[in-house]
A and B are shown apart, each in its own frame.
Chain A
């Protein structure tokens, strides 16, 4: 579904991604793990069109998207929940969801019900200004907002960042549910243990290059991963 071939991405003179290739098949959960600064977020930003690779190919559902403009990609079914949530803090919860459904012209009640079903807490807070939500609620809103467009592929950048363990479990349960409902998922996580548990396959990224690849279980039991990312 998503195919990335030998992309090189730069921030000015900084060579952040040095020839990365990987694939996400339809219906998979693929995890991308790696230390701080490895380039995980940069890869997601490049896929969603916020940045463009200097060389290499990216295709989504057979379409070349390496140089597509970011705002057009959601319409092809590719959603990106960025690092740090990036919800619209001065808008209400409801308005944030409406922005999530921007490409549908109108928000359908059915879609609202769907996300409130996943995150009942947001329903009571529809009229609340998003900036006053707790960190966990903001993460729920960020995911809900992306769900409003019914994406085929959802890219999640550290959805568990800064959340209490119980909320982390809840977010991962919802990722599994979404997956069951047919959404393909590309997951970037610091929480490698959790990510490898849910992932069908995973890649390890180190300073701009992929150093390991395998199924979630394979990587979870590999010595190198255990040592570097699972705390021995």
Chain B
């Protein structure tokens, strides 16, 4: 029964990683950059939701919506101010800028909210479900998190597969110049991608803090790195890959903590990543582009 419990908890935390990883992977696919500040957008989202529910006393739903709106705008601003001027610059310059943005967000949060952790109130109010005479507990957070990740995954798949804007995104991710020749505004598409990724980060932030209720300016950084790992694990640029990578990473992490070592769980997770990349360099679901001879 213990194993099943760990598995469910692993899938739940993995779903949070998956939602964060989706943001990483979409931005990488379209803007060809690693937005290391993505993890910190999660933290901003969580603070926003915290302020709306705790200080203004409004319902959790309003908190989530405000967090999503603020993060969407933040994502667009970060892209426009920090990354857009570097379009065409070396990827190293962009990476360093992203790290700079990450520290900026953390420091700004520290100025506004202080470095002392806040106790985040879970958005979930219904009682846990107990199965097998109380041996197995499924919390409301677990249910909501898994549900949210499935809904997001389906919505994104439909968006990129069926809508005009989603297809344009795929076109930009494949060939930016050719996309421009189709009349697609590449800058706008990149901006849109940051908006979507950041809105997802806000949701991830609220879900993460509902599960792990300590909220501080560095809250987003470790989950951000793990989610980045998940995106690479699944095959960076691939939406189902991010989902699979996130969930597997969550399971591996939880199992490692349960059966092997709490201290070394991150090290073990990275070891698994290295092994996977040695066997499948493009990641689990990464596309190996077929070349015409």
Query: Which residues of A line the B interface, CB within 8 A?
Result: 48-50, 69-72, 74-75, 79-80, 82, 86-91, 95, 98-100, 102-103, 105-106, 131-132, 135, 138, 145, 149
B174-A91 in contact (CB<8A): yes
Is B154 an interface position by the 8 A CB rule? no
A131-B292 in contact (CB<8A): yes
Given contacts A98-B167, A135-B292, contact A90 B174 (CB under 8 A): yes
**Which residues of A lie under 8 Å from residue B181 when comparing CB positions?**
48, 50, 70-71, 74, 79-80, 82, 86
Is B168 an interface position by the 8 A CB rule? yes
CA A34 – CA B217 in complex, angstroms?
A: 61
A91-B170 in contact (CB<8A): yes
Q: Which of B175, B180, B185, B292 contacts A88 (CB 8 A)?
A: B175
Within 8 A of A (CB), among B152-178: 164, 167-168, 170-171, 174-175, 177-178
* Chain B count of residues within 8 A CB distance of the other chain: 21
Chain A minimum-CB-distance residue to B174: A88
Chain A minimum-CB-distance residue to B181: A80
Nearest Cβ distance between residue A106 and chain B, in whole angstroms? 8
Is B4 an interface position by the 8 A CB rule? no
Q: How many residue pairs, one in A and one in B, have C-beta atoms under 8 Å apart?
A: 75
**Which residues of A lie under 8 Å from residue B167 when comparing CB positions?**
91, 95, 98-99
Nearest Cβ distance between residue A229 and chain B, in whole angstroms? 27
CA A145 – CA B174 in complex, angstroms?
A: 16
Q: Which of B164, B175, B289, B290 contacts A102 (CB 8 A)?
A: B164
B183-A91 in contact (CB<8A): no
Given contacts A95-B167, A131-B289, A135-B292, contact A102 B184 (CB under 8 A): yes
Chain B minimum-CB-distance residue to A87: B178
**Which residues of B lie under 8 Å from residue A88 when comparing CB positions?**
170-171, 174-175, 178
